[in-house]
Amino acid sequence: MERTATMANQTQNVAEPIHQPLQPAAPFWLAPWQFAVHALVGTSIFAIIAAVAVALELAVHKLQSYGIGRVIIFGLKAGEYSVFGVDLFLFGVFLWRTANRTIKKL
């Protein structure tokens, strides 16, 4: 349905606003599925980085058996614990944020 508006000796067609249908809601299973996928990928990344920390631990033990100096061993152990600690902390933050995002989508 169109209306005609006259403004300052000019005729202009004014169309009625078109109502667009709303987007269909996402399926109920989508948010939990996305959480499961993100959790699986995040856990895999955590495991890979934790494996590096374990490999570093094994290397430190091997180096200790060769009589490597205490300062170097201390530095390697500090690096090992730092890698694992940061990995664990970031994994927790990742899961917390992913869980919050999932709860908001439900």
Q: Quick one: three-class SS letters along 17-41?
A: CCCCCCCCCCCCCHHHHHHHHHHHH
**pLDDT cut 90: percent of the chain above it:** 67
**How far is it, in rounded angstroms, from Cα 75 to Cα 79?**
6
Which own/partner contact pairs does 6-14 have at CB distance under 8 Å and 24+ positions apart?
none
For the entire predicted model, the pTM comes to 0.69
| Res 9: pLDDT | 61
- At 24, is the pLDDT very low, low, confident or very high (cuts 50, 70, 90)? confident
Check whether 6 has a pLDDT greater than 70. Answer: no
**How far is it, in rounded angstroms, from Cα 83 to Cα 91?**
12
Closest by Cα among 56, 46, 53, 45 to 83: 53
| Res 23: pLDDT | 73
Which tokens sit at 24? Answer: 């269909």
pLDDT, tens digit, for every residue of 59-83? 999 999 999 999 999 999 999 999 9
